[in-house]
Amino acid sequence: MKRIGILTSGGDAAGMNASVRAIARSAMSAGLEAYGINYGFAGLVAGDIHKLESIDMDGIISRGGTVLYSARFPEFAEEKTQLKGIEQLKKFGIDALVVIGGDGSYHGAERLTQHGFNSIGMPGTIDNDIPGTDFTVGFDTAVSVALDALDRVNDTATSHQRTFIVEVMGRGAGDIALWAGIASDADAIVIPERDYDIEAIAEKIKQNRANGKDHNLVVLAEGVMSAAEFKEKLDKFGTLHTRAITLGHVQRGGSPTVRDRVLASRFGDFAVKLLLEGKGGLAIGIRDNKLVASDIIDTLENHKHITDVSLQDLNDRLRF
């Protein structure tokens, strides 16, 4: 083992740079070399690969986005493209690859592993929807950015006694909605993992209003429907002065939080440790506050992310 390749893939997440830095620096500390691969699997196949120096990693821990760029590359589903990628890795003398990203990125790492090339998947996505880990790098920052907006919306809602319906990201998962909703004192949190009762939500808002609450908030996961659609449905149950907001892409970027920086640092260092021990074909995660690694093929094929839906019940108990 002499050279580790690193790539970021899929939607960008805050902390991807912290992840790249951790892998590269930890590798260097162990006497290995680190190679950066630009534009994810597309750059891998194209051979857009360069040696990383420690100084290149300086200061990037605090920056959003990814210095290795990212790209969509559906062509990597084809075997011949995968083999072309492995060829490039061998050309650069790279012995193992760490892929930082979400679901799709993991599948790329899985395929390389199936072809015998040692690859590790590291969770980097805002959606927190990766099997094999309680938390992904980027999730804490995304929720923080969403909360910042929700705190501001609460201000405005107060001034006008409005009901804001705020759609947050998360793809098929309700994690961002649940955390952001609890933290922003939402009247209701609506997630794809559970049915919702719109009449009960309208009733709750009216009741809260009757009790003197002067602002109302529904946090809606994008996996359920759009804020505009939800508003339309809710408006049928009375005059709640609704406004629909979609937070959108602004949730992706930004300087990562402490949590995401430390988690990325731990993940990156752990990946290098595993590779040094001769292990591979793994998905890295944190479970019950401990670093874990599981077989990447088994993880992707037999497990799925479990959202902690009990947080919705918690919110119901803490609502006005």
Residue 190: Cβ-neighbour burial (10 angstroms; 0-12, 13-18, 19+): buried
284 binds a copy of itself (CB under 8 A): no
Q: Which residues ranging from 207 to 246 are in contact with a copy of itself (CB under 8 A)?
A: 211-214, 243, 245-246
Measured from the CB atom, the residue of 62 and 302 that comes closer to a copy of itself is: 62
200 binds a copy of itself (CB under 8 A): no
Instruction: Report, in Å, the least distance between residue 221 CB and a copy of itself.
Output: 16
Q: Which residues ranging from 95 to 134 are in contact with a copy of itself (CB under 8 A)?
A: 134
Side chain identity at residue 102, one-letter code? G
Cα 43 to Cα 88, 89, 125, 127, distances in angstroms: 10, 11, 20, 24
Measured from the CB atom, the residue of 157 and 300 that comes closer to a copy of itself is: 157
Q: How far, in Å, CA of 1 to CA of 96, rounded?
A: 8
Determine which residue in the list 43, 269, 274, 283 makes contact with a copy of itself, applying CB under 8 A: 269
158 binds a copy of itself (CB under 8 A): yes
Q: How far, in Å, CA of 99 to CA of 127, rounded?
A: 17
29 binds a copy of itself (CB under 8 A): yes
Q: Which stretch binds a copy of itself (CB under 8 A): 42-50, 82-90, 106-114, 263-271?
A: 263-271
8 binds a copy of itself (CB under 8 A): yes
- 127 annotated active-site: yes
**Is 283 one of the annotated binding-site residues?**
no
Determine which residue in the list 49, 61, 112, 271 makes contact with a copy of itself, applying CB under 8 A: 61
Q: How far, in Å, CA of 282 to CA of 63, rounded?
A: 27
**Is 250 one of the annotated binding-site residues?**
yes
Determine which residue in the list 114, 154, 229, 309 makes contact with a copy of itself, applying CB under 8 A: 154
297 binds a copy of itself (CB under 8 A): no
Measured from the CB atom, the residue of 80 and 290 that comes closer to a copy of itself is: 290
Q: Which residues ranging from 164 to 193 are in contact with a copy of itself (CB under 8 A)?
A: 164, 179-180, 182-185
Cα 87 to Cα 46, 78, 91, 92, 190, distances in angstroms: 10, 15, 6, 9, 47
50 binds a copy of itself (CB under 8 A): no
Q: Which stretch binds a copy of itself (CB under 8 A): 78-86, 97-105, 155-163, 192-200?
A: 155-163
Q: How far, in Å, CA of 234 to CA of 228, rounded?
A: 10
Catalytic residue chosen out of the listed positions 12, 127, 140, 260:
127
Measured from the CB atom, the residue of 172 and 254 that comes closer to a copy of itself is: 254
Determine which residue in the list 5, 19, 21, 124 makes contact with a copy of itself, applying CB under 8 A: 21
Provide the annotated active-site residues: 127
Binding residues: 11, 21-25, 72-73, 102-105, 125-127, 162, 169-171, 213-215, 222, 243, 249-252
